[in-house]
A and B are shown apart, each in its own frame.
Chain A
């Protein structure tokens, strides 16, 4: 979860880390008033949880008296980074030097990247003068100690009085990185002001989604709910029922997918696309017992107006009983009043309690339950062909009308 700047800086302020004075505004009048209160030069920034705003003209440094106009020009803009509905108003910094600092993760270890070339995109620095960027991995059991951070900044070319100050701040930021369960903290620029004080002018924080639950201070965060009602339905089922989450992402094709596990789902989706099929969604679901989340995904597929068919394609299950999946299917079919004669449903579902699953599928009627041992590729082929047939029949029907 990427935090917007107002929230990120508020968290930092609470940890007594140096961020410039600033507040969020909902309209340009409010932004103007806040700017006048701050006085002098102010930064007007579109509140979007992303970097690269400067490039898109979404960060402007103006005199307080011009802040209202600048905010009005930004608000309501539909940009490639998102829709601007709020503004962050911040006291302008007296910049002597700009640095770059980021905590992130490699596959297995926390990483720290620093550079004395702050204030520009780090990708650009990397492309033109990679020697200006220094990166280390951090032993998570020891953490980052101030003298280690000082050593790193010294390698990056920082000298004199700021070195100790910046090094100590970096070590405190490591503690914030851990305490917030952040996946990423990027400070760009970290400003050394004319008077020698430090100020974290650019502050981006991404919190680990897997850890949000244990941070009550983040509970009232505007949750990144999907705008799609069917995706939201699945998200709501996830938050209502703890345990392995279901995923449902809508796409623009017509083949509904209930596929699992993660790997077999990816492979089947590739095969369908290779055969010229176009999935209406992707999904992933933990095969653990329980039908609520399975039903949520099925309900989403059945209520998506673009779906014309459904592939239930699971890898050969080793522990979870497969009849629970067919139970969920029976419930969702009934709820959505699906006619299996015109909405083909193909099941590739093998594993514990398969006989019971087949008996139940027989009772539902009109389903194609592939014989045991059918490969993932054959399942993909079957759904692509079945969907092609309904598509043809439906367009014929439309012509006849």
Chain B
């Protein structure tokens, strides 16, 4: 097992004829991903890297039984693209677009939830279940080097940090069951805790590593789930952005979401809350391996 995607996943690419869509599709095919369809309105009947292109998601699903969708769609079209995929019956939708306006994001999240689909993103570089499947650019041109297979689940609010965590895991002898870049925007399809609950029920995951930042209620929800016993597997947390507390509130230093609104939003508050709830808090990537060692023996 793994979460969200595995060997049986049939992937569709919305916006496959654009540069990024085409490039990521090539790399995913090289990794062995089962990309069954592309969608670009008006380009139906063409092929990209040998993958058939359709005009609509519904037509693509009808011919190919696609179950997951990757979206390379500009901001203006992303809410519609998510809704189209959700209504066509796609189960896992990955929206790479960043800085999506809040009203569009909220509508897309609601549409996906209503259809029972799992929306990853916005502002994600992908999900990878090593040696099985990946959606999005995650892992780049050499996913095997960055993401060796193993039994640790990763959920990160930053795509880049997902790779850094995987490297740290590799150097201390661990590998990844599934790594998720859940999205750097403030609004994401699912919360960090919802991913951890999937890992909690995944027989092939022994422990989870999370990367958090200032802003959003994601980390507080994880702390609550740990405290209430909904999460029993060990969670190692790394939370960046303490330096922001030396500067005025409301200044954004990185991801738009990583803005401190009130005290509870700060990195220090999150670190304290997670530690008090039983998470192992690592202050650097190099400490992740030791923390896992302590908890997994």
B residues 162-213 with Cβ under 8 Å of A? 163-164, 167-168, 171, 184, 186-188, 191, 211, 213
Evaluate whether A140 and B140 lie within 8 angstroms (CB atoms) in the complex, with A263-B255, A315-B160 already known.
no
Complex interface: stretch among B10-18, B59-67, B95-103: B95-103
A214 to chain B, nearest CB (A): 7
Structural contact, A377 and B254, CB atoms closer than 8 A: no
Structural contact, A208 and B255, CB atoms closer than 8 A: no
**Docked CA distance A123–B242 (Å):** 25
CB of B117 closer than 8 Å to a CB of A: no
CB of A273 closer than 8 Å to a CB of B: yes
B109 to chain A, nearest CB (A): 5
Structural contact, A316 and B164, CB atoms closer than 8 A: yes
Structural contact, B187 and A108, CB atoms closer than 8 A: yes
* B137: A residues at CB distance < 8 A: 318-319
CB of B290 closer than 8 Å to a CB of A: no
**Docked CA distance A208–B214 (Å):** 19
Evaluate whether A108 and B106 lie within 8 angstroms (CB atoms) in the complex, with A260-B160, A270-B243, A318-B163 already known.
yes
Evaluate whether A105 and B106 lie within 8 angstroms (CB atoms) in the complex, with A270-B243, A315-B160 already known.
yes
Structural contact, A316 and B98, CB atoms closer than 8 A: no
B40 to chain A, nearest CB (A): 20
Structural contact, B99 and A210, CB atoms closer than 8 A: yes
Shortest Cβ distance from B158 into A: residue = A263
Question: Using a Cβ–Cβ cut-off of 8 Å, how many residues does chain B contribute to the interface with A?
Answer: 67
CB of B88 closer than 8 Å to a CB of A: no
Complex interface: stretch among B1-9, B44-52, B229-237, B245-253: B245-253
Structural contact, B243 and A263, CB atoms closer than 8 A: no
Structural contact, B103 and A108, CB atoms closer than 8 A: no
Structural contact, A141 and B241, CB atoms closer than 8 A: no
CB of B110 closer than 8 Å to a CB of A: yes
A residues 249-292 with Cβ under 8 Å of B? 249, 251, 260-267, 269-271, 273-274, 279, 282, 284, 286-287
Question: Using a Cβ–Cβ cut-off of 8 Å, how many residues does chain A contribute to the interface with B?
Answer: 52
B286 to chain A, nearest CB (A): 6
Structural contact, B160 and A261, CB atoms closer than 8 A: yes
* A109: B residues at CB distance < 8 A: 106, 109-110
B242 to chain A, nearest CB (A): 5
Evaluate whether A181 and B253 lie within 8 angstroms (CB atoms) in the complex, with A110-B106, A377-B284 already known.
no
B13 to chain A, nearest CB (A): 15
Partner of B102, one of A183, A287, A314: A183
* A178: B residues at CB distance < 8 A: 103
Structural contact, B240 and A267, CB atoms closer than 8 A: yes
Structural contact, A108 and B158, CB atoms closer than 8 A: no
B29 to chain A, nearest CB (A): 15
Shortest Cβ distance from A288 into B: residue = B20
Structural contact, A141 and B253, CB atoms closer than 8 A: no
B1 to chain A, nearest CB (A): 25
Evaluate whether A251 and B98 lie within 8 angstroms (CB atoms) in the complex, with A140-B103, A352-B140 already known.
no
Closest 7 CB pairs of A and B: A263-B158, A315-B160, A318-B140, A262-B254, A263-B161, A211-B101, A266-B240
Can you sample 24 A-B contacts with CB below 8 Å? A105-B187, A107-B186, A108-B105, A109-B106, A109-B110, A210-B101, A211-B101, A214-B101, A245-B99, A249-B253, A261-B160, A265-B253, A266-B240, A269-B240, A269-B243, A282-B254, A314-B160, A318-B141, A318-B159, A318-B160, A319-B125, A319-B140, A352-B141, A377-B285
* Additional A-B contacts beyond A263-B159, A269-B241 (12; CB < 8 A): A107-B186, A183-B102, A210-B256, A245-B99, A247-B253, A263-B156, A266-B241, A270-B240, A318-B163, A352-B140, A352-B141, A376-B284
Identify the A interface with B (CB < 8 A): 105-110, 139-141, 178, 181, 183, 208-211, 214, 244-245, 247, 249, 251, 260-267, 269-271, 273-274, 279, 282, 284, 286-287, 314-319, 351-352, 373, 375-377
